[in-house]
Copies of this chain bind each other. A is one copy, B any other.
């Protein structure tokens, strides 16, 4: 993370559960790794953010009272800006964690004049979640993730794209907002983590990635985030204004 800040990164995105293993075999095990929102991981990120004048979005298992959440936390030079608790829980998380209860929000980074949204991993497979973030005014979606091989018929294509990479591109194309996905790589308990982190700008250009399939890796890219504000397509259309909610009754 320090290297990225030294290279000039303003926002660093870390994976889901970034400071420890992903898979947990019991609630007790998950509890061992869990931290509060002002715990050591977030405190460390705040220190680095302050030192380099940057921002960090990273994943932790959060405990609040007796409850555990899969949480993405956004911090800046002046402290914690916001957090998002994963709504759509995956695999072992269903047993040991509570579903998110803070909704789909955006968080303003005043200094950069942008609004940031966060989702975690399996959330990306729910177009409703991504669309909700876009409707809330998101300019760039930051995604701490652990994409897994579970249930996949295709792991990577010949370009090193995993299926979630297609989601990332498609979400930018439907919502005209940038997306930065930071994934875990390697194996754990027979599950392959997909790597292939990716940054896509709001015009659906893959500006960095996919990162390594198998090893820890990083991406660095300049993204013109403010392009996300203009949802127009050609001279007559607008991706958000053209929505027809009267026909979307089945969704809600």
Contacts and interface: CB of A to CB of B under 8 A. Distances in A.
Interface stretch (A13-21, A66-74, A168-176, A215-223): A168-176
B91 A205 contact: no
Interface in A192-222: 203-205
A251 B251 contact: yes
Interface string A114-126: 0000000010011
Contacts of A174: 125-127, 167
Contacts of A244: 87-88, 99, 126
Nearest to A242: B88
A129 B244 CA distance: 9
Count this chain's copies in the assembly. 2
A103 interface: yes
Contacts of A104: 247, 250
Most buried by B among A125, A128, A129, A136: A128
A157 B88 CA distance: 32
Contacts of A252: 245, 248-249, 251-252
Contact of A205 (B153, B170, B234, B251): B153
A4 interface: no
Contact of A250 (B136, B151, B166): B136
A54 B170 CA distance: 32
A233 B89 CA distance: 12
A91 B233 CA distance: 9
Given A126-B242, A151-B233, A245-B251, 8 more contacts: A87-B244, A91-B234, A91-B235, A127-B127, A132-B250, A153-B203, A248-B252, A249-B252
> 10 closest Cβ contacts across the A-B interface?
A127-B127, A170-B170, A150-B234, A151-B233, A153-B203, A252-B252, A166-B169, A128-B248, A135-B250, A151-B234
